[in-house]
A and B are shown apart, each in its own frame.
Chain A
Amino acid sequence: MRSARAIRGARGSWLIALPVLALLLWTVVYPNAAVIAGSFENGLGHWREFAASSADREALTTTLFISFASVVASLIIGVPLAFLLGRFEFPGRRILRSVATLPAALPPLVGVIAFLFLYGESGLVTRGIQRVLGLHEAPWRLTGVWAIIFVHAYTMYVYVFLFVSAGLERYDTTLDEAAAGLGASSWQRLRRVTLPLLCRQLRAPCSWYS
């Protein structure tokens, strides 16, 4: 039988949860539901129109590609960085850990402007390389899909880094020791034990891109 205190506790939880639920309904569920419902106001007309438009199809495939490539690029930067700064002891490690999380503190607009100042066609780094190599024009142009992926990777790797770092801090290192004792090489330990266990930490940041 549930005690009176447990019932009061359950009521208390609902009182706290109700405003949060209301906020989620208003800001997340309602706008998404409105968009989905709106897409069917003309039957399947809007969907047919979308499928027939090559520009819309290209926009969709480009978006999917940018999402996928941004996730891969962020993983390539964030995961090794988290291992380097989480598993190895060296002078300046704590300072580097703070520096690695800096992009999270920058507003996205500031990040983009900083990128243009540094890597844009007339950016500091671009001009410097052009001068050093004696080129007639800028070695690259920060435009198009690859530029977006570059900026995404720079600004979003930090979430991968933070999640993997948190996972590594909670990680039971005796599992790696057990694997080593059983004869597994460093690569086998990483592939069969460490990374599969860290995967659940990586699901959240990866889903943000999609």
Chain B
Amino acid sequence: MSAGALTLEGITRRFGDHTAVDNVSLEIAAGELLALIGASGSGKTTTLRIVAGYEVPDSGKITLDGRDITDLPPQKRGFGMVFQHYALFPHMPVEENVAFGLEARGVAKAKRLQQARSALESVGLGGAGHRGIQSLSGGEQQRVALARALVIEPQVLLLDEPLSNLDPTLRQSTRDELRAMLHRVGVSALFVTHDQEDAFAIADRIAVIRKGKLLQVGTPEDLYARPASLGVASFIGRATILHAEPLTSSDAGDEKMALTIGGVRREFRVSRAPGAVSGDRAMKVVLRPDALELVSSDSTGAWAGEVITRRFAGGNAVYRVRLAGEVMMEGESRRMDVREGDRVGVVISREPVPVVEDSDA
């Protein structure tokens, strides 16, 4: 299977007055797994449908290995697609479903059924070829859909919320399997999801889309530690986002800010994402739970507050603490002995702290 490099250049799609996809440009390298993540109505599925050829963009260009495919119909693109509800043909047994793409390409019956059986073997469903679609569980249907998309050896695989119909336990194990399989096959993949855990677990890079506009593209680590905007900071991971006071010029290499809560002032180093705007607008700091630590309430320099909720998270616990002035902060701690209602202190345990411009983008 030869993976293709896919490029979207200034893709725009309008439905009446509503701009579903607004000047989106994106590159997927050969063999790369890219997740397009966004809330409902953000334009991620429309973007995927444009790449698949089911929607025609109002403007912009899509190229595959440098070849313009913007006007090619879906049947001529040779992409594999896994639909959210799998779209398996209910009147065909499993192996005929998997062999359908080969049948459309005129492969002889014996050969295509043999290829379909090996594709089913590769997704762990060997021997299920004669079963009806209705007899399959959600996880099995997802694997059949994947086998059907991969058996045609596509240059690009498109996946529309492929894990959203699986129960939480199966979903977790399927994430790892899916990533391993896509890397093993070596196909370029674009998958859309609203679930950041799916994106973190499967993708090499993640593109965040909001109101049709692409906000940031980067590795999961980049998006979490160096969000380029308030929109990305609040959508990716959990965070307490607060206004802070700048201390030194933004041009300085070692930029610092200060945060005062309940009369306690803390200074800390901050970092901006590469290419992020450094204008005169007010800035906000993005305090991730793992960058905050719970200490005793009388510790020097700690912001004192009361634990409102406590959530067990395996090796540690996540505490929601109400500080002075009704500021809510979420911090992680390995201490398990703290309970709701306890007085605690909160300190910043990791610097630099990400900082974003205070604008609605």
A interface residues with partner B (beta carbon < 8 Å): 172, 174-175, 177-185, 188, 192-193, 196-197
Contacts and interface: CB of A to CB of B under 8 A. Distances in A.
A181 B74 contact: yes
Contact of B100 (A172, A177, A182, A185): A182
Contacts of A182: 75, 80, 100-101, 104, 148-149, 152
A185 B75 contact: yes
Contacts of B319: none
Contacts of A193: 89
Contacts of A177: 52, 54, 74, 83, 87
A131 B98 CA distance: 61
B89 A181 contact: no
A181 B81 contact: yes
Interface string B65-79: 000000001111111
B18 interface: no
Given A181-B75, A181-B79, A183-B78, A174 B101 contact: no
B91 A180 contact: no
Contacts, number: 63
Nearest to B96: A192
27 contacts: A172-B87, A174-B83, A174-B87, A175-B87, A175-B89, A177-B52, A177-B54, A178-B81, A178-B83, A180-B54, A180-B74, A181-B54, A182-B75, A182-B80, A182-B100, A182-B152, A183-B75, A183-B78, A183-B101, A183-B104, A183-B152, A185-B104, A192-B100, A192-B103, A193-B89, A197-B90, A197-B91
Nearest to A185: B75
A188 B106 CA distance: 11
B interface residue count range (under 10 / 10 to 19 / 20 to 34 / 35 or more): 20 to 34
Given A177-B54, A177-B74, A178-B81, A184 B87 contact: no
A185 B106 CA distance: 11
Nearest to B77: A181
A92 B148 CA distance: 40
A185 to B, nearest CB: 6
Contacts of B343: none
A184 B100 CA distance: 8
A15 B24 CA distance: 63
Which 4 A-B residue pairings sit nearest by Cβ, starting from the closest? A182-B101, A178-B87, A183-B104, A184-B104
B149 to A, nearest CB: 8
Given A177-B54, A182-B152, A192-B103, 13 more contacts: A174-B83, A175-B87, A180-B53, A181-B80, A182-B100, A182-B148, A182-B149, A183-B78, A184-B100, A185-B104, A188-B103, A193-B89, A197-B91
B105 interface: yes
B85 A174 contact: yes
Interface string B22-57: 000000000000000000000000000000111000
Contacts of B91: 196-197
B40 to A, nearest CB: 18
B83 to A, nearest CB: 5
